[in-house]
Structure 1
Amino acid sequence: MNMIDPWGSSIIDYDKLTEQFGIKPFTDVVDDIPHASKLMTRGIIFGQRDYNKITDALNNNKPFATMTGMMPSGKMHIGHKMVVDQLKWYQEKNADIYVSIADMEAYAARGISKEKSRELALNEYITNYIALGLDVTRDNFHLYLQSENDDVKNLAYIIGKKVTFNQMRSIYGFNNSTNIAHIYTPLLQVADILHPQLKKYGGPKPVIVPVGPDQDPHIRLTRDLASKFNEEYGFIEPSATFHRFMTGLTGEKMSSSKPKSAIYLTDSLKDAVKKVKSAKTGGRESLKEQKELGGMPDKCSIYELLVYHLIDDDKKLEEIRSKCLSGEILCGNCKGCASELITDMFEELDQKREEARKIANTLLK
């Protein structure tokens, strides 16, 4: 693994990633975090860069910000919920929350129009963010379109002075056929991450960026440029956490572009339950073999659903895992449990989504 493609969809080798690119284990810092979330304590968030700045802010009531971005190119699936859960947790810790709608990146990389990006972002993503519990009415919540944020665009232009094409090629694999707009988009992402530290937004402060490991090239570039512009702007190198990707229901990486691999948050309840019941599990080839050898929960997309999203009680999870390993429960039992919990989640989301959509469409006015 010599290069990570932020726009690709390959399966990530987490061990190799941490070894080759210097991502530190999240276990190094988790004990210092007050009331750590289940994503943190269960190892779903597996890596970090410079998180000590954030633990210092959390433990000493210092100002900090959380930054995330979305490139709306399809429907929101349950794997995306991990980012929302992290935003909610940081919002509860009084972080300023910044959410960028990367419409310029979506146009450059995927050919999606600004109008389509806005529509998808509000009616698909932000509507679900609100239904899932993120409070977008707080003063410390900031939502914007890249194309309409002059601070981000101006900063991207300025920081571009200290980046060469050779650097971009070595980080991202750009070549002579890559269009200039696409080459420019990483600078917009850098500006997204750094602009909360501009004087207009309260000046330099720690910023945490929760991402999947495929986004680490952006994090490394941002940290490098923050250092280069420290004297001029006082930028603090941003921190980052890295969460595992959910395995798709078919056994591959969950993806918006592969409908059978994902449970979309706007799926009908019938379709969501059907996907759960047909999902790949960690079961053995025969009933007899499973009872004798036990199941393989670490290779099971259903158990992963329970761990990531559906069961809050650690003891309950450990009981399911233990019974699976011993062969005491079978895949049908777990699918039944997951189906009931998905039903509860989707019924609650459906109840909240109409009001959430009304709120979403008051934003970006």
Structure 2
Amino acid sequence: MKTVLSGIRATGTSHLGNYIGAIARFARMSQDPRYRCLFFVADFHTLTTLKEAEQIKKHLPNMVLDYLAAGVDLSHSAIYVQSDVPQVTELAWLLSCLTPVTHLEGLPTYKDKREKHPEDINAGLFNYPVLMAADILGPRADLVPVGSDQKPHIELTQSLARRFNNLYGHYFPVPGVLPDMVLVPGLSPMDERGGFAKMGKSDGNTINLGDTPEQTWDKIRVAPTDPQRVHRTDPGNPDHCCIFALHQYVSTPEQLAWSREGCMSAGIGCMDCKRVLADNINHMLAEFRERRMQLAQKPDVIRDVLVEGKRQAEVLFNETIEHVRERMGIRRWGS
């Protein structure tokens, strides 16, 4: 059985992109007997960009509800909070002593942030990839499902695993990447590169999992479409429209063909296309929303899940820490 690990930051309300790209996929994997799945809420990572303590406290239990409502099978999975397992920060320090600063400076996420918002760079953001490596190597994960934007960080983790193994003897498996993590487009116009920004909390282009069907429709109704379609009778290019881009994740092949042909021929209006999209999204999320509403009435469920998740995670991290300390010569002299 392979160990799969994934985390999600508690930075806000989960949205459709999180659900399609991560949460629903993780739930399916947790039901697969080939995998032991570890899911954690990355509250330490959240601190690199979100400083409002009350917001973190508010969002964290909601993240857990999302996993549970999506159907995560806890018979061979665990959900825990990153900060409940302090061994991860100890391991991050030990790994940081093996990490060249130039490797961190060369990571695309850091370079982009430094160029665009140099005043917002903090040491936590700079060291973020090392803590991420500790998250992965602590439970000795075999597989990590990530999007393309996170692949450089996984490559750093792989490099650190190899470096440790070369210096101190083989211990860490070199984690693999589960391919095809989906980056779902948001309700945004096409950018200058001919693509669509991924759905993200900071961009204000999301359909939130907690939105009602009416709220979902309200957001889709006012979303931008192909600028060529000024009037109902104007033909358009569906590849220039975020509505069609979203259809590809929630609609049938027949509906996709209907949308494409109708847009190019002006046989349908944008509102017709938007209505079908809204109906499909609401249908996809109906069962999830119902389960989530029921779970929200049982706060003890969240606590019990996290207590058990912490217990399981600490067993794995403690074993790793003892091996790593011994090999690196950092013994517990006072015990």
2:238 is aligned to: 297
Name the CA shift for 1:98/1:112 in 2 (closer, same or farther; >3 Å): farther
Aligned to 1:236: 174
Specify the SS of the correspondent of 1:286: coil
**Is residue 339 of structure 1 aligned with residue 278 of structure 2?**
yes
CA shift digits 1:155-190 (9 cap, x unpaired): 222221211223212223387974333333321111
2:47 is paired with a residue whose SS is helix
CA distance in 2, matches of 1:269, 1:112: 30
- How big is each residue's C-alpha offset from its partner over 1:100-122, in whole Å with a ceiling of 9 and x where there is no partner? 22111212333243x75354122
The one-letter code matched in structure 2 to 1:271 is Q
What SS does structure 2 have at the residue aligned with 1:162?
A: coil
The alpha-carbon distance between structure 1 residues 237 and 362, as it changes in their structure 2 partners (threshold 3 A), is closer
Distance (whole Å) between structure 1 residues aligned to residue 122 and residue 238 of structure 2 = 44
2:48 equivalent in structure 1: 108
Q: Does 1:211 align with 2:146?
A: yes
Q: TM-score when scaled to structure 2? A: 0.74
2:65/2:295 contact within 8 Å kept: yes
Mapped partners of 1:237, 1:187: distance in 2: 14
* Selected match of 1:273 from 217, 234, 244: 217
1:180 match: 123
- The verdict on how the C-alpha distance between 1:139 and 1:227 changes in structure 2, with shifts beyond 3 A counting, is same
Identity %: 26
Shift of 1:273: 0.9
Counterpart position of 2:92: 156
**1:263 equivalent in structure 2:** 207
The answer to whether the 8 Å contact 2:142/2:173 transfers is no
CA contact (8 A) 1:103 1:118 kept: no
Structure 2's unaligned 5+ residue stretches are 190-195, 308-335
Q: Does the 8 Å CA contact 1:73/1:112 hold for their aligned counterparts?
A: no
- Structure 2 CA distance, aligned partners of 1:235 and 1:112? 37
Number of residues of Structure 1 aligned to a counterpart in Structure 2: 284
Larger CA Rg, structure 1 vs 2: 2
Residue 78 of structure 1 corresponds to which residue in structure 2? 16
Match for residue 354 of structure 1 among 284, 293, 304: 293
TM superposition score normalised by structure 1: 0.69
Aligned residue for 1:27?
Answer: none
Q: Secondary structure at the match of 1:229?
A: helix
Name the SS of the counterpart of 2:38 in structure 1.
strand
Identify the residue that residue 82 of structure 2 maps to in structure 1: 146
Inter-partner Cα distance in structure 1 for 2:247 and 2:176: 32
What letter is aligned with 1:360? Answer: I
| Structure 2 partner of 1:22 | none
Equivalent position to 2:70, from 116, 128, 132 = 132
- SS of aligned partner of 1:89: helix
